[in-house]
Chain A
């Protein structure tokens, strides 16, 4: 079973690489640089993490970011799938919507964050809107593509089985488009995470983006690195979660080892 041996070797090497890198970092930071401000050693980052976690500060910021993210993401999924479905089904509707969706798509999210903050204030709503915009556009485009690219044989099958319109939608069109929808969600996750952090960084009083800004403005490097590590963990986790979901729901789709964002 070479398939079993290979990942273990890979895993071992990965672990060596990560721990070796961290050890090297600790040594270099302690012995050579001795400057906590520039590159804090992993141990002081860990200590800072512990302090933040115990005081409950971390929890509060993490919860704020997560809440904004989940609110925006779920609304975007529901509305995005509905609009995308109609765009895929009805050509005329697609033509009406297309110029605006394309415009929204081509504007870099980061650039419109200041505008959204002016319109919706510095509270949570503006972050939810940012997440919503990013995710919805990705899901709309992918859902529409999925509905359009449905295998016509399936629709003929539905016809010959005398499925009603609702049943065709529910049993044929929706499952057929599901892999595309998941792809849209995957594309949305990474960008939405970036968007929410940027919005919090720009104007907020809670959230990981706020923590990032706060720690960099007070020159608290260990705290800054804690935030960076936490964001890395969040990114890695959400990416792998959705990739696993994708593999389960659409196993026939081959995807790149690291799919591009």
Chain B
């Protein structure tokens, strides 16, 4: 009983906070600011979102363009990042030689590479995919490296005492043990990849969500700007949730691996 009222109060507070915030926003936009090039009421934003989704369907081409760029960069990052992480974990020589370059690339703000990549690949799809790739690559690489490094010693010793071949050791012990880490890396890379999409589409794009936001900002089209920002947020949460589902499915032993 007590617990139930507590939960009720908690939900009411959350709901109240959201409603109060929206009302405040509305009042601020309509009565205080009263300038549609500066701030618009949430009602207008919802209206615009509705129009763009169901009436004129303006959002879909942008969504579609961004999804492709994201998809290519993301898959490429996994395909290259996971094996490279494994190789670095299994061979200290490779790790020592590759590490300085990787940690430098990793800690550099990604935006710095955008103009360079544009210079090399042109304003077509290549540069955009490369920017997304750079965003997704490092969490995947680092986590697959780390996952393989921290495999429980006892498992490896067990494998040794069973005289497993190194191939079997890899397939039966090392690979499954690092799966949760890799998935955590993939989960982190979604947000970074979306940021990459936004950055990539600022330079010389004609469609895509990043372009939508950028163009709306340049033309002071605040409702569209809000819709674009919200689409990014929704996509991020959606991707995050999907990977989390995969995680609980793929690693039923449920070790909460570390990451973010």
Q: Specify which chain A residues have a CB less than 8 angstroms from the CB of B233 in the assembled complex.
A: 103, 106-108, 111
Q: In the assembled complex, which residues on chain B have CB atoms less than 8 Å from the CB atom of A5?
A: none
With A106-B233, A118-B217, A258-B142 as given contacts, are A231 and B225 in contact (CB-CB < 8 Å)?
Answer: no
Which of A9, A98, A100, A187 contacts B96 (CB under 8 A)?
A: A9
Given contacts A118-B38, A118-B222, A258-B142, are A235 and B17 in contact (CB under 8 A)? no
Scoring B120, B143, B213, B226 by chain A CB atoms within 10 A of each residue's CB, the highest score goes to B213
B192 to chain A, nearest CB (A): 7
Provide the residues of chain B in CB contact with A238, threshold 8 Å: 107
A227 within 8 A of B: yes
Chain A 208-219 near chain B by CB (<8 Å), digits 1 or 0? 010011011000
* Bound Cα distance A13, B108 (Å): 22
Contacts of B256 in A (CB 8 A): none
- A15-23, A79-87, A159-167: which one contacts chain B? A15-23
Contact A99 B17, beta carbon cutoff 8 Å: yes
Contact A236 to B232, CB < 8 A, known contacts A99-B14, A108-B191, A114-B225: no
- On chain A, the residues within 8 Å of B105 by CB distance are 232
Which chain B residues lie closer than 8 Å to A111 at the CB level?
198, 209-210, 213, 228-229, 232-233
How many Å lie between the Cα of A236 and that of B100 in the bound state? 11
Nearest chain A CB to B191's CB is how many angstroms away? 7
A213 to B112, CA, bound (A): 10
Residues 195-217 of B, flagged 1 when their CB comes within 8 A of A and 0 if not, give: 10011001000000110011011
B115 contacts the other chain (CB 8 A)? yes
Q: Which of A9, A92, A100 contacts B13 (CB 8 A)?
A: A92
- Residue B251 interfacial (CB < 8 Å): no
> In this complex, which of B105, B112, B258 has the most chain A Cβ atoms within 10 angstroms of its Cβ?
B112
- Decide: A114 near B216, CB < 8 A? Known: A235-B109, A239-B107: yes
Across-interface contacts of A232 in B (CB, < 8 A): 104-105, 107-108, 112
CB neighbours (8 Å) of B111 from chain A are 194, 197-198, 201, 209, 212
Contact B109 A194 (CB under 8 A): yes
Q: Mark contacts of A1-38 with chain B using CB atoms, 8 A cut-off: 1 yes-contact digit, 0 otherwise.
A: 00000000110011011100100000000000000011
> Does B47 sit within 8 A of A, measured CB to CB?
no
B1-26 interface code vs A (CB 8 A; 1 in, 0 out): 00000000110011011100100000
- Contact between A261 and B146, CB atoms less than 8 A apart: no
User: Is A117 on the interface with B (CB-CB < 8 A)?
Assistant: yes
Query: Which residues of chain A from 191 to 213 have any CB-CB distance to chain B below 8 Å in the complex?
Result: 193-194, 197-198, 201-202, 209, 212-213
Residue of B nearest to A239 (CB): B107
What is the CA–CA distance of A37 and B115 in the complex, to the nearest angstrom?
A: 12
Residues in B with CB closer than 8 Å to A202 are 202
Residues of A within 8 A of B146 (CB): 256-258
By beta carbon, the residue of chain A nearest B17 is A96
Q: Which residue of B lies closest to A15 (CB)?
A: B100
Distance between Cα atoms of A261 and B18 in the complex (Å):
29
B17 pairs with A13, CB closer than 8 A: no
Residue-wise, chain B 143-169 has the 8 Å CB interface mask toward A (1 for contact) of 101100100000000000000000000
List residues of chain B with CB within 8 A of the CB of A190. Answer: 107, 109
Of A16, A106, A224, the most chain B CB neighbours within 10 A belong to: A106
Q: List 24 A-B contacts (CB under 8 A).
A: A14-B97, A14-B99, A17-B96, A17-B97, A21-B101, A91-B10, A95-B10, A99-B14, A108-B194, A108-B232, A110-B198, A111-B209, A111-B213, A111-B228, A119-B38, A198-B199, A209-B111, A216-B115, A216-B118, A221-B119, A228-B108, A258-B106, A261-B138, A261-B188
Residues of B within 8 A of A (CB): 9-10, 13-14, 16-18, 21, 37-39, 93, 96-101, 103-113, 115-116, 118-120, 138-139, 142-143, 145-146, 149, 185, 188, 191-192, 194-195, 198-199, 202, 209-210, 213-214, 216-218, 220, 222, 225-226, 228-229, 232-233, 236-237, 258-260
What 5 A-B pairs come out closest when comparing CB atoms?
A: A114-B217, A216-B115, A13-B96, A235-B107, A232-B108
